[in-house]
């Protein structure tokens, strides 16, 4: 028994450096990604605050009206903290933002956090639906095009993707409204029902804006995935598997797809800001009470705290999504796995 215990201990001791060697690249990538994320968030906060500071709006005068005296305006500016140096205002704003306090609206005195909490679920649900639709539609089209390399399906997917890639979301949205709301009268042209209230009605109201935001991204995903899959299917390991009798579909789904997913994930990561940016016109077109409309209406009134809050929250969402995509890319990166394995084997 003691010999067996000693042998197990020796085996564990030999495996420990191998495991450490495999984990080291992951830790390095995660650490560098976190450093980049923090840096980007800091720069985003500086740029966001600078945009508010450079605005010419005078909230005190706007809130008090034309009959306000200069003493009243100075008093309200002091309450808003606008009579302090910009650096002090920035650090105060960031400090409160880290605790979830984004200030109050200059005009309604409603906490900015409350306004964002009411509007953000609309954007998150529509963006999530758009991303799922883009992945499903683009992934299916890309796989079909790769399997039909040079065939009619491949050419059809390439043609459709080329057309969709030239159309902005609001044009696609108007076309969807004309077809599905006006002509076929199958789906509503506007409005919104929260997901928590009625999932079926939420999907009914959300499918058109989700499609409007997703089709352009789906075209990019399909093109990238098709290119990656065709390239991987020409690699020696894929050709060898087919020569050993494995079908092309089995090779694709069993081996090739995972290796080809990395560049497609990069496309998805780049598409997330596009989806969020396209929400401005899409929310206007479909009458959605989202964060984009909140920011737009606040900007028209000069309500700087609300605008700053919406911009900061949007930046955090985009950076967090990019962080998740980077981690997934590391997990699916075959070169990193082979490098880690080689390091462990050498040890």
The full set of domains in the chain, from first to last, is 112-301 (1.10.3720.10)
Once rounded to an integer, what is the mean pLDDT over residues 3-23? Answer: 48
Q: What is the pLDDT of residues 199-229, one digit of tens each?
A: 899 999 989 999 988 898 899 899 988 888 8
C-alpha distances (whole Å) from 136 to each of 141, 181, 191, 215, 223 are 8, 23, 25, 11, 14
Using alpha carbons, select from 104, 97, 60 the residue that is nearest to residue 82: 60
Q: What is the pLDDT of residues 109-150, one digit of tens each?
A: 788 888 888 888 888 888 889 889 999 999 889 888 888 888
Please tell me the predicted confidence (pLDDT) of residue 137: 93
Q: What is the pLDDT of residues 294-329, one digit of tens each?
A: 888 887 777 778 888 888 888 888 778 777 777 776
Name the average pLDDT for the chain: 77
Is 341 a residue whose pLDDT tops 50?
A: no
Please tell me the predicted confidence (pLDDT) of residue 62: 61
């Amino acid at each position: 028994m003691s010999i067996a215990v000693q042998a197990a201990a020796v085996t564990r001791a030999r495996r420990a450096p191998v495991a450490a060697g495999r984990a080291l690249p992951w830790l390095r990538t995660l650490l560098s990604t976190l450093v980049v994320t923090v840096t980007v968030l800091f720069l985003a906060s500086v740029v966001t605050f600078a945009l508010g500071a450079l605005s010419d709006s005078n909230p005190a005068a706007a809130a008090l009206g034309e009959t306000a005296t200069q003493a009243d305006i100075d008093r309200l500016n002091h309450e808003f903290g606008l009579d302090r140096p910009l650096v002090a205002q920035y650090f105060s704003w960031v400090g409160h933002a880290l605790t979830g306090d984004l200030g109050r609206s200059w005009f309604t005195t409603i906490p900015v956090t409350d306004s964002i909490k009411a509007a953000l679920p609309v954007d998150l649900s529509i963006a999530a639906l758009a991303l799922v639709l883009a992945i499903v539609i683009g992934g299916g089209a890309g796989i079909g095009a790769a399997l039909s390399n040079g065939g009619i399906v491949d050419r059809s997917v390439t043609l459709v993707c080329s057309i969709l890639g030239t159309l902005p979301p609001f044009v696609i949205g108007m076309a969807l409204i004309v077809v599905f709301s006006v002509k076929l009268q199958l789906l509503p042209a506007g409005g919104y029902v929260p997901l928590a209230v009625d999932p079926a009605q939420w999907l009914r109201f959300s499918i058109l804006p989700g499609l409007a935001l997703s089709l352009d991204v789906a075209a990019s995903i399909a093109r990238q995935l098709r290119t990656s899959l065709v390239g991987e299917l020409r690699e020696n390991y894929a050709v060898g598997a087919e020569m050993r009798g494995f079908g092309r579909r089995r090779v694709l789904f069993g081996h090739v797809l995972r290796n080809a997913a990395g560049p497609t994930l990069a496309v998805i990561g780049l598409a997330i800001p596009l989806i969020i940016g396209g929400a401005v016109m899409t929310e206007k077109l479909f009458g959605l009470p989202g964060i984009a409309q909140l920011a737009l209406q606040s900007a028209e009134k000069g309500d700087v705290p609300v605008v700053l809050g919406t911009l900061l929250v949007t930046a955090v969402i985009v950076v967090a999504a990019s962080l998740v995509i980077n981690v997934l890319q590391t997990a699916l990166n075959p070169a990193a796995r082979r490098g880690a394995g080689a390091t462990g084997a050498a040890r």
